């Protein structure tokens, strides 16, 4: 097997922000040649490191995260001269990733039917907020609105009595990126069998529903819901959030076969025979009392103690870590979750690898994302444009940025 399984695969990334570009990153991790196409002013995500509530930094860490390993060019899709560039990009590409809203996409002649005739082997990957059909198909969508709020996820990720909170930025986009990548790879496999390209799609809403599918399937089945989680009166005190003596919160998930072992390990085997908790009906009625008892027990010892206790009896638990703590987790480097990033700046020497591993196949070493229009001339020459053609595209504003190609990142 080749070291880079997608070596020779050509991808045009016309998408903006996170989900579409990150699908292209996964392809690039395995060797695909990805061209990032931006408007002359640049993808707004270039400036996310200076946009509250994103953490502020000197280096454009979000930009490098979702556009590493790519070549970059600018193109004003509204310019009449841009059409010839678009057509040659489509003819060159194996994969085209687009997330422009469909009304604008139609005006720009970037719908599937506008480009499919140019390349019969093209895999056209379409990302939308709410799907291509239905009353809200044309609404703008971000992961916060489409993936989190509309799917039902945001209504459940809070405790009883608390308002919906602000989810982690990009989390829905990143999950959706894996979905788009999966659709693209499925289409590439289909192409190997049929020789023909495909039109594949997903939406932030569909991916959010998939993430919330246990709850949504329950609703479809008419199930009885317990309501929002209440830490002091949980549906199951053995599946709850507790705090250790050092202030660390942790999630505890004790299955029925582990109850006796846990009771013994925490020094309270009497809880199993306590008349308040020994029968299912009484246990349900006395959940607040049991939760209060467990609170007192767990707050008596620091997290390293409970880590040792739970690990010793193979109970599922997880300390709640902040991002500044997560980066020191030895599991990240041991499993190549965090890898070196070349060329992005002194304060940005590491990045997060895509979550897919093919054992025996090395990923491409991560390199910085491109500067705005960095590879305009290089790419246009590969597409067959002459120096005079390129000068004309610059002159009429179809492209912007450096006129001379910089070295590849």
Q: 23-79: per-residue pLDDT in tens?
A: 999 999 999 999 999 999 999 999 999 888 899 999 999 999 999 999 999 999 999
In the chain the first and final C-alpha atoms are separated, in Å, by 26
Give domain 239-243+249-319's CATH superfamily.
formyl-coa transferase, domain 3 (3.30.1540.10)
Quickly list DSSP for 188-255: HHHHHHHS--EEEEEEHHHHHHHHTHHHHHHHHTTPPP--SB-TTS-S-TTEEEEE-TTS-EEEEE--
Class at the top of the CATH hierarchy for domain 10-211+328-395: alpha beta
Domain map (residue ranges) of the chain: 10-211+328-395, 239-243+249-319
What pLDDT was estimated at residue 280? 86
> Under a CB-based contact definition with an 8 Å cutoff, are residues 366 and 68 in contact?
yes
Where are the alpha helices (H) located in 95-145, listed in sequence order? 102-107, 112-115
Secondary structure (3-state) at 382: helix
> Under a CB-based contact definition with an 8 Å cutoff, are residues 124 and 198 in contact?
yes
Q: 237-273: per-residue pLDDT in tens?
A: 999 999 999 999 999 999 999 999 999 999 999 999 9
Q: 173-218: per-residue pLDDT in tens?
A: 999 999 999 999 999 999 999 999 999 999 999 999 999 999 999 9
What pLDDT was estimated at residue 400? 86
Query: Per-residue pLDDT for 109 more than 70?
Result: yes
What pLDDT was estimated at residue 3? 67
Measured distance CA(221)–CA(191) in Å, rounded: 38
298 or 2: which carries more pLDDT confidence? Answer: 298
Q: 363-388: per-residue pLDDT in tens?
A: 999 999 999 999 999 999 999 999 99
Query: Per-residue pLDDT for 402 more than 80?
Result: no
Secondary structure (3-state) at 120: coil
What pLDDT was estimated at residue 4? 85
> Under a CB-based contact definition with an 8 Å cutoff, are residues 102 and 138 in contact?
yes
Region 210-231: mean pLDDT is 95
- What pTM, to 2 d.p., does this model score? 0.92
- Preceding omega of 53 cis (within 30 degrees of 0): yes
């Amino acid at each position: 097997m080749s070291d880079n399984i997608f070596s020779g695969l050509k991808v045009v990334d016309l998408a903006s922000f996170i989900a579409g570009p990150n699908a292209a990153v996964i392809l690039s991790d395995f060797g695909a040649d990805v061209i990032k196409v931006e408007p002359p002013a640049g993808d707004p995500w270039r400036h996310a490191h200076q946009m509250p509530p994103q953490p502020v930094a000197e280096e454009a860490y979000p930009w490098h995260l979702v556009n590493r390993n790519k070549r970059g060019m600018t193109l004003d899709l509204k310019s009449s001269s841009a059409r010839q560039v678009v057509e040659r990009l489509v003819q060159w590409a194996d994969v085209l990733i687009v997330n422009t809203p469909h009304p604008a996409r139609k005006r720009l002649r970037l719908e599937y039917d506008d480009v499919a005739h140019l390349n019969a082997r093209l895999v056209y990957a379409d990302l939308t907020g709410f799907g291509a059909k239905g009353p809200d198909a044309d609404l703008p969508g971000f992961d916060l609105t489409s993936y989190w709020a509309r799917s039902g996820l945001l209504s459940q990720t809070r405790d009883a009595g608390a308002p919906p909170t602000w989810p982690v930025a990009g989390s829905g986009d990143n999950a959706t990126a894996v979905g788009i990548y999966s659709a693209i790879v499925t289409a590439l496999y289909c192409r190997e069998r049929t020789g023909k390209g495909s039109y594949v799609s997903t939406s932030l809403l569909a991916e959010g529903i998939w993430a919330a599918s246990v709850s949504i399937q329950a609703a479809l089945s008419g199930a009885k819901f317990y309501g929002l989680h209440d830490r002091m009166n949980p549906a199951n005190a053995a599946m709850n959030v507790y705090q250790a003596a050092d202030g660390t919160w942790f999630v505890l998930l004790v299955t029925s076969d582990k109850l006796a072992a846990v009771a013994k390990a925490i020094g309270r085997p009497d809880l199993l025979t306590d008349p308040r908790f020994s029968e299912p009906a009484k246990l349900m009625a006395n959940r607040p009392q049991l939760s209060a008892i467990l609170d007192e027990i767990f707050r008596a010892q620091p997290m390293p103690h409970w880590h040792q206790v739970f690990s010793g009896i193979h109970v599922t638990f997880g300390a709640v870590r902040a991002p500044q703590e997560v980066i020191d987790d030895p599991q990240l480097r041991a499993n190549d979750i965090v890898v070196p990033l070349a060329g992005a700046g002194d304060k940005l020497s590491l990045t997060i690898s895509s979550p897919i591993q093919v054992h025996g196949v090395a990923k491409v070493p991560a390199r910085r994302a491109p500067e705005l229009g960095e590879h305009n001339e290089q790419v246009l020459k590969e597409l067959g444009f002459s120096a005079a053609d390129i000068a004309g595209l610059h002159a009429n504003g179809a492209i912007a940025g450096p006129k001379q190609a910089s070295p590849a990142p």
